[in-house]
Amino acid sequence: MIKIKTEKEIELMRESCRIVKETLDFVGRNIHAGMTTKEVDALVYKYITSCGAYPSELGYEGYPASSCVSVNEVVVHGVPSDRVILDGDIVSVDITAEKNGYHGDACRTFLIGNVSEQKRRLVKVTEECFFKAIEGLQAGVPLFDIGHRVQTHAEANGYSVVRALTGHGIGSEMHEDPAVPNYGKAGTGMRLKSGMTICIEPMINMGTYKVNFSREDGWTVTTADGLPAAHYENTVLIKDDGVEILTL
């Protein structure tokens, strides 16, 4: 069931989304080579809780941390660990914060030190996929146009789009309907409505689109070929005359 948000609910979402954005800015200022992914997670926990919010990934279906910290070949849901971040890594940090009953969700992929031209380009194109997806987006646009635009831009650049995971609606729950795939056929799917809040989150691989789910921790998703992946996400409000990116 898709929940259309009231103006009051949107106000509350703006607040949690602002906290998510500020937390990612804080992480961006502090993340560096030599840190472990657990240390990044500690920064996230500290910042979000200092805002009077809750890092809603913590405990979500048993998830053990406040953030997903995904290095290089880890696509998403990298469980914070003793893995040390190295110079030249790309690290995506995906966080969700809840305040007053509403969630915000966003992800950035950070460049650590001296990153190869190849990986820089992957990160740049992944961000571009998001902005292509929201061009002209507004109430009435078919849902799968989003994925179509992401897929077209990624593949035009020689990359592949992860199929096994999607974006999603968001609000009083972290994951609401509808699923928002990063691939699809233009002109298909339900028509977006004003007051919908969705997470658009391209997950783009340098090589194959295929991924593996960790049997050890039950969460970590890696590329099947071990090549790097990037992830970029914002929470977006659909309006009659456009969109509002709540986590920017």
**Region near ligand MF3 per CB under 6 A, out of 39-47, 53-61, 83-91, 236-244:** 53-61
89/105 with CB nearer Co ion? 105
Minimal distance, residue 67 CB to ligand MF3, in Å: 8
Q: In the bound complex, what is the minimum distance in angstroms from residue 10's beta carbon to ligand MF3?
A: 20
Q: Does 41 bind ligand MF3 (CB under 6 A)?
A: no
Contact call for residue 57 and ligand MF3 (CB under 6 A): yes
Closer residue to ligand MF3 in complex, CB, 115/235: 235
Contacts of 174 (CB under 8 A, 6+ apart): 56, 57, 60, 96, 98, 103, 105
Calpha distance 198→103 (Å, rounded): 11
The answer to whether residue 176 forms part of the interface with ligand MF3 (CB under 6 A) is no
Q: From 40-48, 60-68, 177-185, 205-213, give the range in contact with ligand MF3 by CB under 6 A.
A: 60-68
With CB under 5 to 8 Å by kind, the binding choice for 131 among Co ion, ligand MF3, none is none
Interaction between residue 145 and ligand MF3 (CB under 6 A) = no
Least distance in angstroms from the C-beta of 126 to ligand MF3: 14
Q: Which of 94, 98, 145, 176 binds Co ion (CB under 5 A)?
A: 94
Residue 77 near ligand MF3 by CB under 6 A: yes
64 is a site residue for ligand MF3 (CB under 6 A): no
Contact stretch for ligand MF3 (CB under 6 A) within 24-32, 59-67, 144-152, 156-164: 59-67
DSSP per position, the chain: -PPPPPHHHHHHHHHHHHHHHHHHHHHHHH--TT-BHHHHHHHHHHHHHHTT-EETTTTGGG--SSSEEEETTEEE-PPP-SPBP-TT-EEEEEEEEEETTEEEEEEEEEE-SS--HHHHHHHHHHHHHHHHHHTT--TTSBTHHHHHHHHHHHHHTT-EE--S--EEE-SSSSSEEEEE-S---TT-SPBP-TT-EEEE--EEESS-S-EEE-SSSS--EEETT---EEE-BEEEEEETTEEEETT-
Supply the minimum distance, in Å, between the C-beta of residue 174 and Co ion.
7
Q: How many Cβ atoms sit within 10 Å of the Cβ of residue 188?
A: 12
Please, what is the minimum distance in Å from the beta carbon of residue 209 to Co ion?
A: 19
Question: Can you give the binding site for ligand MF3, defined by CB under 6 A?
Answer: 57, 60-61, 63, 68, 77, 94, 96, 105, 199, 201, 219, 233
